[in-house]
Amino acid sequence: MSTEELRKDAAELRGFMETASRQRVKDILSLELRKIETEIIKKEEAKSASAKETDTAKPTTEGLKVRQPRSLSYVQEKTYAWDQSDKFMKIYAQLPDVQSLPKDKITCDFTSRSFKLQVHELKNKNHEWHIAHLMEEIVPEESYFKVKTNSVLVMLKKKEVKTWPYVTEREKKAQDNKKPKVDESKDPNDSLMDMLKQMYEDGDDEMKKNISKAWSDSRNKQSVI
């Protein structure tokens, strides 16, 4: 799929998020949005691999202590894309023209289970990504960030070499809530059918094809009997 089509999908998902009122629905939409944004970033980086990048140094105590006047407010950003390696969880905070800012206008604080990225005075606005309750622990002193074209890459050093299924605990809970649940008070056959129906509704084309085939085979066997 082209980058343009992916951007259209992302824009439509953002529209759904703005109108959604239930937190669970917002979390599910946010997960799908991040998947699309990650794919967009990968396509853009592959296309402009030779583009000049402006890298910041690892955050120092002096840099992290920069404070803005209390009268300035922040746009609380909720969306981001992510990827990972064995040692790092990579967070892509997309922000047009962020590379035009002086280095001291971008700061990031790290704790063992969170980070707070702040971008100051970009087109007369301040932006903040505050991601708490990370899925696993990180090493704050070995975590850092890089400024790229239209985005900031936050490198979270994993405390343990392992694959994270999600970025935060909330995302895991939201995904767990989507899994089919068996009602023990019902007849086992009814519960199984309900679970299959939910899997069919939530599944992709391949899942729906397999479930439809299973139902068809089951009916054919019953007819023979």
SS3 of residue 117 by DSSP: strand
Question: Can you list the positions of beta strands (E) in the chain?
Answer: 75-76, 81-84, 88-94, 106-111, 114-122, 125-131, 144-148, 151-157
Total structural domains within the chain: 2
Residue 194 lies in a domain: yes
Q: Are residues 155 and 203 in the same domain?
A: no
Residue 181 lies in a domain: no
Residue 22 lies in a domain: yes
Q: Are residues 51 and 109 in the same domain?
A: yes
Instruction: Please name the residue that has the structure tokens 């509704």.
Output: 201
What is the rounded (10 degree) CA torsion for 194, 197, 201, 207? 130
Q: Are residues 200 and 171 in the same domain?
A: no
Q: Are residues 130 and 192 in the same domain?
A: no
Residue 196 lies in domain:
188-224
Q: Whole-prediction pTM value? A: 0.55
Q: Are residues 78 and 144 in the same domain?
A: yes
Q: Are residues 101 and 46 in the same domain?
A: yes
Q: What is the pLDDT along the chain (225 residues), one digit of tens a residue?
A: 787 888 888 788 788 778 878 888 777 878 888 888 888 888 877 777 655 555 554 554 444 445 544 556 899 999 999 999 999 999 999 999 999 999 999 999 999 999 999 999 999 999 999 999 999 999 999 999 999 999 999 999 999 999 999 999 998 888 877 665 555 555 555 555 666 676 667 666 777 777 777 767 666 655 555
Question: Can you list the positions of beta strands (E) in 123-196?
Answer: 125-131, 144-148, 151-157
Residue 183 lies in a domain: no
